[in-house]
């Protein structure tokens, strides 16, 4: 018996990157995992890999920024399994980070598209999953934020605003439904090496993160998956409403620490 045996988990954006690793990690712990990604083909591949490893998963493709699709997704999950125990709000419109410079440079379309892609999905998935969790009297939600939502940056304006809002969504969910058994936390990674990293982080940006990280390396998707799995497990039963930085120590360091180390 794994620690998630008998639990049903929805992982949005579960077909790639961190979501893919979360799907594998929860399935390895015994959860039945719903890979809810708009990329249906990749979702099927991830599900096949989970099955090959002895896990239980299903691909239910959906664009989580579309309300009707989220409603249909949650209906489908409840019809199949009768419950939802875990929601990992991981999907985001990362392709827009490539056209998200400083405030004067961001178009209104990119700004709104980013909010739609990064914030509306977690809002809608939480809204539709909550009634099921409330009926069960229990549920754990993890929202994928970012260090970009915790400090000002020279670019990624819309992205940072969307992730700051995801952090507030996390607090609102935790505070409003905590007494009824729902826990909600956010994870805030700094750079993690996934397929999209190159779009917004050329080598110079990766080098800058490495210089300012306290660790001698950058993050990998599994580093995040382990923390998400912990947060949705019973081991984290006394943790809710918080943002957990998983950032190689970036936010622990004094802003001039890297300069001082190099002198």
Ligand X SMILES: NC(=O)c1ccc[n+]([C@@H]2O[C@H](COP(=O)([O-])OP(=O)(O)OC[C@H]3O[C@@H](n4cnc5c(N)ncnc54)[C@H](O)[C@@H]3O)[C@@H](O)[C@H]2O)c1
Judged by the rule CB under 6 A, the positions of this chain that interact with ligand X are 12-13, 15-19, 37-39, 42, 63-65, 90-94, 117, 121, 144, 146, 189, 191-192, 194-197
Question: Quick check: 191 and 217 in contact, CB under 8 A?
Answer: no
CB burial string 120-134: b at 16+ within 10 A, e below = bbbbbbbebbbebbe
Question: Whole-number minimum distance, CB 135 to ligand X, in Å?
Answer: 25
Question: Whole-number minimum distance, CB 163 to ligand X, in Å?
Answer: 7
Q: Which helix (H) or strand (E) holds 111?
A: helix 108-115
Question: Whole-number minimum distance, CB 161 to ligand X, in Å?
Answer: 13
Question: Quick check: 33 and 20 in contact, CB under 8 A?
Answer: no
The smaller minimum CB distance to ligand X, of residues 135 and 215, is found at 215
The smaller minimum CB distance to ligand X, of residues 31 and 93, is found at 93
The smaller minimum CB distance to ligand X, of residues 178 and 249, is found at 249
- Cα gap 224→246, rounded to integer Å: 7
**Looking at the chain, which runs of residues are DSSP E strands?**
8-12, 32-36, 56-59, 86-89, 139-144, 182-189, 243-246
The smaller minimum CB distance to ligand X, of residues 20 and 85, is found at 20
Question: Whole-number minimum distance, CB 93 to ligand X, in Å?
Answer: 5
Pick from 56, 237, 164: nearest CA to 47? 56
Residue nearest to ligand X (CB): 17
Cα 88 to chain centroid, rounded = 6
The smaller minimum CB distance to ligand X, of residues 93 and 130, is found at 93
Pick from 166, 163, 145, 152: nearest CA to 246? 145
Per the residue annotation, which of 128, 159, 177, 209 is the catalytic one? 159
- Cα gap 28→20, rounded to integer Å: 12
The smaller minimum CB distance to ligand X, of residues 18 and 167, is found at 18
**159 included as an active-site residue:** yes
Question: Whole-number minimum distance, CB 63 to ligand X, in Å?
Answer: 4
Provide the β-strand partners of residue 59: 35
Question: Whole-number minimum distance, CB 14 to ligand X, in Å?
Answer: 7
- Cα gap 67→98, rounded to integer Å: 26
Residues with catalytic annotation? 159
């Amino acid at each position: 018996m794994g620690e998630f045996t008998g639990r049903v988990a929805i992982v949005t954006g579960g077909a790639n990157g961190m979501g893919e690793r979360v799907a594998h990690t929860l399935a390895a712990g015994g959860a039945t995992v719903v890979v809810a990604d708009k990329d249906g083909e990749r979702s099927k591949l991830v599900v096949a890999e989970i099955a090959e490893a002895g896990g239980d998963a299903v691909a239910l493709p959906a664009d989580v920024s579309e309300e009707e699709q989220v409603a249909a997704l949650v209906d489908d999950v409840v019809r199949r399994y009768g419950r939802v125990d875990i929601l990992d709000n991981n999907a985001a419109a990362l392709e827009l980070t490539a056209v998200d410079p400083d405030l004067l440079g961001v178009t209104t379309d990119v700004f709104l598209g980013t909010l739609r892609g990064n914030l509306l999905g977690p809002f809608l998935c939480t809204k539709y999953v909550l009634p099921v969790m409330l009926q069960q009297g229990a549920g754990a939600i993890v929202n994928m934020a970012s260090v970009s939502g915790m400090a000002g940056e020279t670019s990624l304006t819309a992205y940072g605003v969307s992730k700051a809002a995801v952090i507030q969504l996390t607090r609102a969910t935790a505070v409003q439904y905590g007494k009824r058994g729902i826990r909600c936390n956010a994870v805030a990674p700094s750079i993690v090496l996934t397929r999209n990293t190159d779009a917004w982080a050329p080598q110079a940006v990766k080098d800058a993160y490495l210089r300012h990280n306290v660790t001698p390396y950058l993050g990998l998707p599994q580093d995040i998956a382990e923390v998400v799995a912990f947060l949705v497990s019973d081991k984290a039963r006394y943790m809710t409403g918080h943002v957990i930085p998983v950032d190689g120590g970036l936010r622990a360091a004094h802003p001039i620490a890297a300069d001082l180390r190099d002198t």
